[in-house]
Copies of this chain bind each other. A is one copy, B any other.
Amino acid sequence: MDFNLSEEQQLLKDSVDRFVLDDYDFEKRRKTSNSDDGFSRDNWKTFAELGWLAVGLPEEYGGFGGPVETMIVMEAIGRGLVTEPYLPTVILGAGLVAEAGTDAQKESILGAVAEGSCMLAFGYAEPTSRFNLADVSTTAEKKGDGYVLNGHKSVVYGAAAADKIIVSARTSGGVRDNDGISLFIVDNNTKGLTRRDYPTADGLRASEVEMENVEVGADALLGTEGAALPVIEKVVDQGIAALCAEAVGCMEMLKDETNEYLKTRKQFGVPIGKFQVLQHRMVDCFIELEQSRSMTYMVTLKLDEDTESRRKAASSAKAQIGKGGVFIGAQSVQMHGGMGMTDELKISHYYKRLMQIDTMFGNRDWHLKQFAALTQ
């Protein structure tokens, strides 16, 4: 039992922390978020140079590290409220390729991801699926050697910037069957694929992706036809662990900022941190953070266990992180009073991101239901 970082991990942590501190202050972040792309390609290049885009990828394709290293990067991303599409590209996109890809697919994509020349996105949700990953109406019909895709993928983060979008589609079975789901790697400029791009409430970018008779070759199939669900679930659980780490970064920043505000903001002649109700509220925030951090360690260190154990870890961690994040976010706004409501203070931006994290990959209700089913 050991919760310490190795020396290499500590070096990585120092490096990402320094970047966020020095090169990602809130004003820069605001400008970046408000730019057309919603992120900075220069930053992306820096990420590549510093090796962060290779974290968690297989060593034979230039990658290094595993879940703990990903956690370190994502926590810093949370602290800085970083808008670069790290999660869609490195964790989801490259994660799917690493998990299920052919050697050729890995060869062509993973190296490019690591060096920053390929961005990815993952379309898994649909307008009627809510949080059920197995609810796939998008169809892929065989045509010659390849497939024809039709369907609508909802709220695909990072789709506008992605070179390739990985989508789930049904090659057989009924709409909510576990079997019959396949993954396809689709070039973003493929004929028949249209996007509606938009900013999201948390300052990122997402898209509606519609496919009308999109023709792809046999090499677009990622993994075994019809057997993608376990792959998707595994990579989404990795995404959940990463999101948990990001949330912890957000929560810690809010806790520190709000605690500091309580010490400095005066009302009725004393710092408002002298009011016992706010002290106890702040303690509640601290405790939610500690619980969330503990659960993040837990899920990170259990990602490689058997499926049931991994899914229990992911659902329980996500449920805690969703609750804790929204609580700390909302209370930080409340304790900052009017200033917490403003766009110019960072507080509300963290709150909005934490709200989004609660929803992403299924909200508390969804994961408590999964967890209940797994632990009965």
Q: Which residues of A contact B (CB under 8 A)?
A: 275-277, 280
Contact = CB atoms under 8 A, between A and B. Distances in A.
A276 B270 CA distance: 15
Contacts of A277: 276-277, 280
A172 B290 CA distance: 58
A296 to B, nearest CB: 30
5 contacts: A275-B276, A276-B276, A276-B277, A277-B277, A277-B280
A277 B277 CA distance: 5
A16 to B, nearest CB: 39
The 4 closest A-B pairs by CB, nearest first: A276-B276, A276-B277, A277-B280, A277-B277
Contacts of A280: 277
Nearest to A277: B276
Contacts of A276: 275-277
A275 B278 CA distance: 12
A272 to B, nearest CB: 11
A276 B277 CA distance: 6
A281 to B, nearest CB: 9
A202 B276 CA distance: 35
A301 to B, nearest CB: 36
A280 to B, nearest CB: 5
Nearest to A278: B276
Nearest to A280: B277
A276 B276 CA distance: 6
A363 B276 CA distance: 34
A112 B286 CA distance: 63
A280 B280 CA distance: 12
Residue of A275, A277, A280 most packed against chain B (CB within 10 A): A277
Nearest to A275: B276
A278 to B, nearest CB: 9
A276 B275 CA distance: 7
A24 to B, nearest CB: 38
A277 B276 CA distance: 6
Contacts of A275: 276
A267 to B, nearest CB: 13
A369 to B, nearest CB: 16
A275 B279 CA distance: 12
A129 to B, nearest CB: 23
A287 to B, nearest CB: 15
A275 B277 CA distance: 9
Nearest to A279: B277
A190 to B, nearest CB: 44
A273 to B, nearest CB: 12
A277 B279 CA distance: 9
A296 B276 CA distance: 34
A365 to B, nearest CB: 15
A152 to B, nearest CB: 29
Residue of A275, A276, A280 most packed against chain B (CB within 10 A): A276
A293 B198 CA distance: 49
A279 to B, nearest CB: 8
A228 B320 CA distance: 47
A276 to B, nearest CB: 4
